[in-house]
């Protein structure tokens, strides 16, 4: 394992060499999180210790933060590590053993990872258990997602449900127009997102966080604000973010007015086209329901996504490695108590990511 200390652009070149590069492993994502209370460390594994230009075997960006007011810290490998395993679970051993040793040396209470890996990789879950990792009760990101392939308009339209195609057409007939507002649309998005949070019952981060994220990635041509408007009034918004061959539907919002005009359908259709026109081949809808839980509240939103042809891709979810088991067990009890208060409605949850 070699700790990477170069420029962010150079780090991204390593990440983009991996089979499934993820936005949350990018240098810009790490830099964003460092401005909001985290610290980032980056590592790469190659076949030879001195191989500077060879294809990496694995990469991992680890985010670290204090656990509230406790004198303890945790590490989080967001949507990683990225391992080019070629279907061979044994290739995870070296990265995970090295990360565990590094976490113990740093005095972290525990490490969390949630690789972008399909749930049917039971060989991986067995290997992770053997190395001391356990499924986590705390999912920072959504455990599962939904994905679409991006193609020509007529191909994508053909893969949609008839009702979705109808609603996209209805929005146009009702005078809904989708505008690429860029950073000028941030305030309208924040107003709509606030209404969405109140309606759906989730808490919101500080407006400055969303502004920072959108402005930073927009500056690099990776993000925009798509506003669906009718007679000049913003009715819905979508925030897509691009990294490598994939675009992520990071945030969506709709107001209380004008929902009968189907602005969310128009905005989402334009988001798919926007991502495709920037060279993306895949669209990650950022969040899908648990296929084994019919009561999962994400099923409602999943029906909307499935209407566009999105396919549910269950994943292995988050896993934890306790580096100080007794202290971690106590912390988990405190976290469970806090979660119970959230569920009872005494404390707000935060929106992801």
pLDDT at 48 over 80: no
Residue 348: the pLDDT is 43
Is the pTM higher than 0.95? The answer reads no
Structure tokens at 250: 């990071």
Which of 185-189, 247-251, 340-344 is least confident? 340-344
Residue 349: the pLDDT is 43
Structure tokens at 191: 């107003």
Q: What's the chain look like in SS3?
A: CEEECCCHHHHHHHHHCCCCCCHHHCHHHHHHHHCCCCEEEEEEECCCCCCCCCCCCEEEEEEEEECCCCCCEEEEECCCCEECCCCCHHHHHHHHHHHHHHHHHHCCCEEEECCCCECCCHHHHHHHHHCCCEECCCCCCCCEEEEEECCCHHHHHHCCCHHHHHHHHHHHHCCEEEEECHHHHHHHHHHHHHHHHHHHCCECCCHHHHHHHHHHHHHCCCECCEEEEECCEEEEEEEEEEECCEEEEEEEEECCCCHHHCHHHHHHHHHHHHHHHCCCCEEECCCECCCCCCCCCHHHHHHHHHHCCCEEECECCCEEEECCHHHHHHHHHHHHHHHHHHHCCCCCCECCC
pLDDT at 219 over 70: yes
Which of 198-207, 247-256, 292-301, 316-325 is least confident? 198-207
Half-sphere exposure of 105 (CA within 13 A, CB side): 6
Half-sphere exposure of 303 (CA within 13 A, CB side): 6
Percent of the chain with pLDDT over 70: 93
Percent of the chain with pLDDT over 90: 82
pLDDT digits (tens, 9 = 90+) for 58-87: 999 999 999 888 889 999 999 999 999 999
Rounded Cα gap, residues 282 and 149, in angstroms? 5
pLDDT at 158 over 60: yes
Q: What is the mean pLDDT of residues 147-166?
A: 98
Task: State the pLDDT confidence band at 49, using cuts at 50, 70 and 90.
Answer: low
pLDDT at 236 over 80: yes
Average pLDDT over the chain reads 92
Higher pLDDT, 169 or 197: 169
Task: State the pLDDT confidence band at 53, using cuts at 50, 70 and 90.
Answer: low
Domains of the chain listed by start with CATH number: 2-141+316-343 (3.40.630.30), 145-313 (3.40.630.30)
Tally of CB atoms within 10 A around 301: 16
């Amino acid at each position: 394992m070699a700790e990477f200390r170069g420029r962010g652009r150079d780090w991204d070149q390593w990440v983009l060499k991996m089979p499934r590069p993820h936005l949350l492993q990018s240098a810009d994502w790490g830099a964003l999180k460092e401005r909001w209370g985290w610290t980032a460390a980056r590592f790469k594994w190659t076949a030879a210790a001195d191989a500077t230009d060879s294809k990496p075997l694995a990469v991992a960006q680890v985010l670290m933060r204090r656990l509230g007011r406790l004198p303890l810290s945790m590490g989080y490998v967001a949507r990683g590590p990225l391992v080019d395993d070629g279907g061979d679970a044994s290739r995870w051993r070296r990265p995970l053993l090295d990360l565990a040793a590094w976490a113990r040396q740093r005095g972290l209470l525990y490490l969390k990872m949630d690789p972008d890996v399909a749930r049917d990789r039971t060989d991986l879950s067995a290997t992770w258990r053997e190395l001391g990792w356990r499924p986590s009760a705390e999912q920072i990101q959504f455990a599962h997602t939904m994905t679409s392939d991006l193609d020509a308009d007529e191909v994508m339209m053909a893969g949609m449900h008839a009702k979705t195609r109808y609603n996209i057409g209805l929005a146009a007939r009702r005078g809904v127009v989708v505008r690429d507002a860029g950073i000028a649309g941030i305030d309208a998005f924040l107003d709509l997102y606030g209404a969405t949070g109140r309606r759906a019952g989730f808490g919101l981060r500080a407006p400055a966080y969303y502004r920072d994220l959108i402005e930073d990635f927009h500056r690099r041509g990776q993000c925009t604000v798509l506003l669906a408007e009718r007679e000049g009034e913003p009715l819905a918004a979508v925030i897509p973010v691009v990294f490598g061959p994939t675009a992520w539907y990071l945030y969506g919002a709709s107001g209380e007015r004008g929902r009968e005009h189907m602005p969310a359908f128009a905005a989402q259709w334009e988001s798919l086209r926007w991502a495709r026109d920037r060279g993306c081949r895949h669209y990650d809808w950022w969040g899908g329901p648990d296929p084994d839980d019919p009561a999962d509240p994400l099923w409602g939103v999943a029906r909307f996504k499935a209407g566009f042809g999105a396919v549910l891709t269950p994943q292995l979810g988050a896993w934890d490695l306790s580096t100080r088991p007794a202290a971690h067990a106590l912390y988990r009890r405190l976290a469970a108590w806090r979660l119970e208060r959230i569920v009872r409605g005494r404390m707000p949850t935060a929106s992801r990511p």
